[in-house]
Structure 1
Amino acid sequence: MISSLVSKVVGSKNERYLKSLQPRVQAINALEPEMQKLTDEDFPKRIAELKEKVDDGTKLDDILPEVFALVREASVRTLGLRHFDVQLIGGMVLHEGKIAEMKTGEGKTLVATLPVVLNALEGKGVHVITVNDYLARRDAEWMGAIYEFLGLTVGTVVHGIDEKERQASYRADITYGTNNEFGFDYLRDNMKFYKEQLVQRDLHYCIVDEVDSILIDEARTPLIISGPSSDSTALYARINAYIPSLKKEEHYTVDEKARSVSLNDEGVAKVEQMLGIENLYDPANITLQHHVLQALKAHSLFERDVDYIVKDGQVVIVDEFTGRLMPGRRFSDGLHQALEAKEGVKVEAENQTLASITFQNFFRMYEKLAGMTGTADTEAVEFKEIYNLDVTVIPTNVPMIRRDYPDAIYRTQEEKFNAIVEDIHELHKNGQPVLVGTISIEKSELLSRMLKKRGVPHDVLNAKQHEREAEIVTNAGEQGKVTIATNMAGRGTDIKLGEGVRERGGLHILGTERHESRRIDNQLRGRAGRQGDPGSSRFYLALDDDLLRLFGSDRISGLMERLGMEEGQAIENKMVSRAIENAQRRVEAHNFDIRKQLLDFDNVMNQQREVIYSLRRELMVNEDLEDLAHEYVDDLLEEIYEPYESTKGAPDEETVETLKARLEELFALSRVLPIMETVPSRDEAAEAIRGILARLKEDAGEQYQEVLRFFMLESLDRHWKEHLANMDHLRDGIGLRGYGQKDPKQEYKREGFAIFQEMLYLIRETALKALCRVRFQRVAEQELVHKEQPEKLNYAGASSDAESKKKQPSRRTQPKVGRNEPCPCGSGKKYKKCCGSAA
């Protein structure tokens, strides 16, 4: 009560912040007459002068009014579009690294040009990320007219372009692309062998368009680069044949909320009988157990034409939030193979993870991150907690006059859809355009069949082609048009009202059911009422809708019964609408927990990933790796000699022989120390190993650094790949620790660190083992090192299929700490035994 009183007196936090930006808006407007006097040739000159100022230390905030005024005038001259004052405010919000919530039709694409140009003056690259390739190309070409007029370069990163095109696009002042392409390019860059082939620069400033879709909806699925494993696929078909004989409730239970399935005692006995095994939970049968549960999931939780479709003999995932097809994406952990077996198509081999990262951790690597969307405020807590992003609601340029009608609630799906078809028919007859939002392809096709029977012409948009999608959505405001769209497909495209539509009430939005997220409903509603246009919206619900069935309380059903609903009759009740909104809040909280848990586990991997990728970058960028090779030698010798040197008195014969065998196994010391009657001292061994490396250096000549780079990177990549598989296995079973009163996350962190330390040791060991044995064969230089095709690189029979790309050299920002010096963290340990153990 007190907080609401304060808001009335001094305004909300959002209002106070917007008010603080007004003086800058006035300063930009005051510069407009000066900008109008400039010739076209003056604009790139002014931008070049401002770049120099920034290079000399001028802060971007100091030149913001001038840059925004230049961009606005450039937009007027190239596109005929002048930024409104609220768009200037949106640009300032984005420049400050916040999320700007702007209603549909407020011109977010144009707003982005203001902070994009301002931040491009730093010369470090600006990324603008959109939801699909079509929008990335469209926006880069459309807004590119402004950038090129100002003398700035623009690049586009979309699916299908080659490495050189990617490299050129990332080196442009401004780069447009999709979240998947940027994320996968980051992962691919960290799988390269040569710095000349890296494509991305450092991640500097990024604006994410439709930020809620990318940073919230898609954040549940990590980006994974994988390769085929050697496991057979025959078991999937075998297990699939048994599943139809298992009956729900009798043999297994399904938890639709948690999207999980579990066998009961009768089910376990039935499976053991079918498979001819004694104990399904015996460790030897863990693979069978896993396949059975995945097959059950495929049959009981995943529906064809809802969660996936079968197209051209392949199972293609349907994005649960947009309804778009996701070719190339596969469910992990054998689930996709289980679906392929279920549908009787070819079962592809399971994949092994080669590199992965979550969208949360990828986007948090940017020095400054901003976003824009029409719907972010309902997820403000998550944006703040995960990304440290504040949400600012920008007022509309013209007041919103759309009418949002209360929900119409029916008893059954059949009654609901009959009412929907009747209402669409009436609206179409009156010439009012209707945009219908469904939550699945299946519901879209059902409604389409019903409308055809009724003789209502319509377009069905299942988002199979982005260009066609944009065209259909653009025309959705024409008189009498009926458009069915799955969820929010067509986002980013403006719907303008056709002739005579204003007088008929504008575009009507019809939702066939409530989505589990209020934000998705708001996105659908937001398609009507742009820039002060008339419009209306209404959602239709049934008591057996998934949302009400799974998450609605018994109170809703009780209310409906007391209200005495008759067949085919709808009710509009505020109490019921509030109860539905509460159900949506519960689902949103549940989904947030899922994303938070994914992030908590990935944070452990992210720390390890940063260490490995940092070491990898050092191996690629450094011209002289000899010192690092010698550090590897010192580290390994310390590990080997520690048990020998710590023995009180003379070590026994077994310890001596073990040490000799280890030295021979790792370094092949017999090549330089043929007779080791007595154990060489650590210094003698180090000197002998350096002698082996010196001989290799002499044989390799100019190629010595490439030899070191190759074997160090090859060892790192091999063990990192194995480590990712080990971490996947650890995570799969870590939840069981909860039964032992242990925190699974802490256990994952503790054990993950132990196997990571072991992996770092193996990287050094494997690299030196190879370097001490390699026999360098003199061949023509072009056969030895072919940087365009690194797989041609051969050293005594060793080869690598790694790719390669280009990156600017990293620069050390602090003095180098010696491996044997005290650690600067103050632990009292040697640096190499403490913080330096990861390097």
Structure 2
Amino acid sequence: MGVSQRLKNRFRKFLQRPGTTVDLGPLSRRLEPIEAREEALKELDDAALTEAAREASDFTEICAVGREAARRAINQRPYDVQLLGAMALLSGRVAEMATGEGKTLTATIAAYGHTRLGNGPVHVLTVNDYLARRDAEWMEPIYTLLGLTVAWVTEASTPQERREAYSADVTYVSVSEAGFDYLRDQLVTDVADRVQRELATAIVDEADSILIDEARVPMVLAGSTATESDPVHEAAELVKNLRNGKDYEVAEDGRSVAFTEAGLKNIEEQLGGVDLYADDQVEHLSAVNVALHAHALLRRDVDYIVRNGTVELIDEMRGRVAQRRRWPDGLQAAVEAKEGLSATAEGEVLNTITVQAYIALYKTVCGMTATAVHVGEQLREYFNLEVAVIPSNTPNIREDDPDRIYSAHDTRDEALVEEIKIAHDKGRPVLIGTLDVQASETLAAQLAAAGVPCNVLNAKNDAEEAAIIAEAGAVGAVTVSTQMAGRGVDIRLGGSDEKDRDQVVELGGLYVIGAGRHDSRRVDDQLRGRAGRQGDPGASVFFVSLEDELVTRHAGEILPASPRMDMDGVVHDPQVDYAVEHAQRVAEGVNHEIHRNTWRYSVVIEQQRLLLAERRERLLTSEVAAIMLLEKLPEKAKETDEDVLSDSARAIALYHLDRLWVEHLAYLSEVREGVHLRALGKLDPLDEFHRSAVPAFQELLIQVEARTIEAFEEIDLSEGWQPERAEIVRPSATWTYLVHDNPFGSELDRLIAAVGRRLTAGG
């Protein structure tokens, strides 16, 4: 049987949809030949199917065999649209597939296909450990039937477990764990200690989240250093009793704070009458400023939570704890001090790479997400990736209502609770997306007061995430959640077992309500997309207040003084509708501009890191260090045992190369933070950064050779080679973390954001 005319018509209409960046025509034409292979493949026994899988070498055969393997192994026959998605991934594109359309199975067929096309090994990069393990175990029967090995890596994996996992044909791993493994591999002194193989193909799950939202996040490998004094804890004590308006003033945008003269005098007196702006008080000045930021601007249960005696940062895009994240520039220690906790070690940065730079190391990159079109230009700019918008298997019949906009928070919240109560009393399941932990807990309390029980999913109980989401479609369920992006579990009507599906369908399906607009349209779309999966009925609406931070920060100037509203307090004013949309566009524009600016600096560092990595690889895998010493110190080198010369030369050269890179990174960090002053002086900060970074790197390369020669010359090798004699002492402990964006940005970021706001407002 051929592909139905109805499906063909839907594909044809979809190909003409505005905004689609890739023509699906050539891929959709393969669907009939794929289906034509189905009956013959069904006749094969498992061993014969595995053999056919090993011989598949084009898209048609890969998809046909992959479909049959999935049908047998997990009793799921991939839809035509899933095969379209797999072919898009095999073509090196980002497939936009709606929530609930089966991206996990789509990626499995694509991973199999990439190995058959010679693009292996394949890494499926996920947003967290839970999804990496879940998807690998879920899809393993399919891979086994296809003759492939599959494994997963999580934070708890040992080095040997990681090595074995990366030796599989397909490895599921969170992007951060993969990046950390790469950084550790870059510091080995023996090739056998590496865990990863070549970085060949990456299939990126939640591609917009990883490739755009997290692109500029630095992954850091740190090493232990001698214990240093902690001026930030002392500063936290000094600022905790200061008062807003008297001792300090917060800027209108809520992103910066400054001491008043009275506040500064107060601090200086507490410090014994010092002048904080004296040259010898730089450390104290920096500490009290960062402590003031933590005290005045960072909010518990909004920006972070305190759990098990530690400060845990919240990922604003996903509303869950940002695992192993730290704020930079002393801010982490300042928040820990504010909460009365001991400072956690930051250590010395041994190596670092941004998510964007790490993914760029793969020869082939593709990905999938429910929301890619909005960031299509950025995917093209940063990764040379095109978006292929895949139609849903069945038409989307969800009803998306216009925003309900209220003039104030209290009016909006009353209306929101009433709307939820009405739906709940009928038994209709409701999912409410809130902007932060505090808002989710406030709404839960308001619902309890109104007699509406609810489940709360936020950063404080993320361990219960899968169970809570799985039952969010049950009769009468009310689920209050922070952002739904990247949650990875479908909401089935009638509950996880779908036993009350018919009743929920009759009630109109899942009702999704957004309690405020997010800075990103994609995050709102991810929330909305939780309703109406696979042709289910559903509805969505957003309740917005003109007091929401998004609106006041980015559209306050264009709101009418007296907007038109009805008796219920709902605003009906085209100018207000425009202002809310405008605020979201401005927020996205500012974030994009900061991303672009950060990447311009990262490009320089990344080029240097790649050059250094090439040099390090030569030192690690050849005798280039020993040859250098034979040329520079021929007498000593020739009288040294050949094996001793080889081992000592390699170890000394690697140590000094790594040490100089650590010093170089610290220097570049200082330069990066200082160039904003030159920007104020009308100089191009990027040019100024280059003027410092390029000669510093040239000097680093010279110093690697000079220090290696000097160390070799001084060491006594008569009794063999021992690293301690050359004072080659690497850190006794290393650990990894991600640098969370400073919520206030660097001084330079703030300048760029201000310019971005002006440009977007003007446009």
TM-score (norm 2): 0.89
Instruction: Give the whole-Å Cα distance in 1 for the aligned partners of 2:489 and 2:507.
Output: 22
- For residue 198 of structure 1, report the CA deviation from its aligned partner: 0.7
Equivalent position to 1:516, from 482, 499, 519: 519
Instruction: Give the whole-Å Cα distance in 2 for the aligned partners of 1:348 and 1:110.
Output: 41
Equivalent position to 1:47, from 43, 53, 74: 53
What does residue range 446-595 of structure 1 map to in structure 2 within 5 Å? 446-464=442-460, 468-488=464-484, 491-498=487-494, 499=500, 500-558=503-561, 561-564=562-565, 569-595=569-595
For residues 797-819 of structure 1, what are the alpha-carbon distances to aligned partners after superposition, in whole Å with 9 as ceiling and x for unaligned?
Answer: 64445899xxxxxxxxxxxxxxx
The answer as to 2:366 corresponding to 1:370 is: yes
Residue 102 of structure 1 contacts residue 108 of structure 1 at CA under 8 Å; is this kept in 2? yes
For residues 621-641 of structure 1, what are the alpha-carbon distances to aligned partners after superposition, in whole Å with 9 as ceiling and x for unaligned?
Answer: 22564224446x3xxxxxxxx
- For residue 128 of structure 1, report the CA deviation from its aligned partner: 0.5
- Aligned residue for 2:635? 691
Letter in 2 for 1:66: E
* Distance 1:562-1:775 versus aligned 2 partners, 3 A rule: closer
Instruction: Give the whole-Å Cα distance in 2 for the aligned partners of 1:318 and 1:157.
Output: 23
- Aligned residue for 1:241? 237
- Aligned residue for 1:35? 41
- For residue 778 of structure 1, report the CA deviation from its aligned partner: 4.0
Per mean C-alpha deviation after superposition, the further-off stretch among 612-621 and 283-292 is 283-292
Aligned sequence identity (%): 39
Equivalent position to 1:741, from 682, 690, 693: 682
Residue 193 of structure 1 contacts residue 620 of structure 1 at CA under 8 Å; is this kept in 2? yes
* Distance 1:27-1:582 versus aligned 2 partners, 3 A rule: same
- Aligned residue for 1:390? 386
Instruction: Give the whole-Å Cα distance in 2 for the aligned partners of 1:533 and 1:300.
Output: 46
- Aligned residue for 2:604? 604
Residue 229 of structure 1 contacts residue 350 of structure 1 at CA under 8 Å; is this kept in 2? no
The answer as to 2:261 corresponding to 1:261 is: no
Letter in 2 for 1:357: I
Instruction: Give the whole-Å Cα distance in 1 for the aligned partners of 2:21 and 2:699.
Output: 54
- For residue 17 of structure 1, report the CA deviation from its aligned partner: 0.6
The answer as to 2:134 corresponding to 1:138 is: yes
Residue 626 of structure 2 contacts residue 645 of structure 2 at CA under 8 Å; is this kept in 1? no
The answer as to 2:77 corresponding to 1:99 is: no
- For residue 526 of structure 1, report the CA deviation from its aligned partner: 0.2
Instruction: Give the whole-Å Cα distance in 1 for the aligned partners of 2:132 and 2:91.
Output: 23
Instruction: Give the whole-Å Cα distance in 1 for the aligned partners of 2:520 and 2:485.
Output: 16
- Aligned residue for 2:756? none
Letter in 2 for 1:84: Y
Instruction: Give the whole-Å Cα distance in 2 for the aligned partners of 1:11 and 1:244.
Output: 56
Q: Which runs of 5+ in 2 are unaligned?
A: 1-12, 495-499, 735-763
Partner SS for 2:645: helix
Letter in 1 for 2:361: M
Instruction: Give the whole-Å Cα distance in 1 for the aligned partners of 2:119 and 2:316.
Output: 39
* Distance 1:603-1:12 versus aligned 2 partners, 3 A rule: same
Instruction: Give the whole-Å Cα distance in 2 for the aligned partners of 1:530 and 1:239.
Output: 52
Partner SS for 1:316: strand
* Distance 1:625-1:761 versus aligned 2 partners, 3 A rule: closer
- For residue 777 of structure 1, report the CA deviation from its aligned partner: 5.3
Equivalent position to 1:110, from 86, 100, 105: 105
Residue 776 of structure 1 contacts residue 795 of structure 1 at CA under 8 Å; is this kept in 2? no
Partner SS for 1:553: helix
Letter in 1 for 2:465: E
- For residue 415 of structure 1, report the CA deviation from its aligned partner: 2.0
What does residue range 725-740 of structure 1 map to in structure 2 within 5 Å? 725-740=666-681
- For residue 321 of structure 1, report the CA deviation from its aligned partner: 1.4
Aligned residues: 714
- Aligned residue for 1:614? 614
Instruction: Give the whole-Å Cα distance in 1 for the aligned partners of 2:397 and 2:16.
Output: 27
TM-score (norm 1): 0.81
The answer as to 2:428 corresponding to 1:432 is: yes
- Aligned residue for 1:649? none
The two structures, once aligned, show a CA RMSD in angstroms of: 2.5
Instruction: Give the whole-Å Cα distance in 2 for the aligned partners of 1:141 and 1:373.
Output: 21
* Distance 1:244-1:455 versus aligned 2 partners, 3 A rule: same
- Aligned residue for 1:20? 26
Residue 193 of structure 1 contacts residue 803 of structure 1 at CA under 8 Å; is this kept in 2? no
Residue 630 of structure 2 contacts residue 638 of structure 2 at CA under 8 Å; is this kept in 1? no
Partner SS for 2:192: coil
* Distance 1:87-1:708 versus aligned 2 partners, 3 A rule: same
The answer as to 2:653 corresponding to 1:717 is: no
Residue 248 of structure 2 contacts residue 257 of structure 2 at CA under 8 Å; is this kept in 1? yes
Letter in 2 for 1:744: P
Partner SS for 1:772: helix
- For residue 690 of structure 1, report the CA deviation from its aligned partner: 0.7
Please say which structure displays the higher CA radius of gyration. 1
Instruction: Give the whole-Å Cα distance in 1 for the aligned partners of 2:15 and 2:36.
Output: 31
- For residue 171 of structure 1, report the CA deviation from its aligned partner: 1.2
Residue 74 of structure 1 contacts residue 149 of structure 1 at CA under 8 Å; is this kept in 2? yes
Equivalent position to 1:294, from 262, 276, 290: 290
Per mean C-alpha deviation after superposition, the further-off stretch among 10-19 and 194-203 is 10-19
* Distance 1:64-1:629 versus aligned 2 partners, 3 A rule: farther
Q: Which runs of 5+ in 1 are unaligned?
A: 1-6, 51-59, 634-688, 785-791, 805-839
Partner SS for 2:367: strand
- For residue 454 of structure 1, report the CA deviation from its aligned partner: 2.2
Residue 518 of structure 2 contacts residue 550 of structure 2 at CA under 8 Å; is this kept in 1? yes
Per mean C-alpha deviation after superposition, the further-off stretch among 466-475 and 102-111 is 466-475
The answer as to 2:711 corresponding to 1:767 is: no
- For residue 588 of structure 1, report the CA deviation from its aligned partner: 0.3
Partner SS for 1:78: helix
Partner SS for 1:112: helix
Residue 404 of structure 1 contacts residue 536 of structure 1 at CA under 8 Å; is this kept in 2? yes
- Higher RCO structure (Cα 8 Å, ≥6 apart): 2
- Aligned residue for 1:423? 419
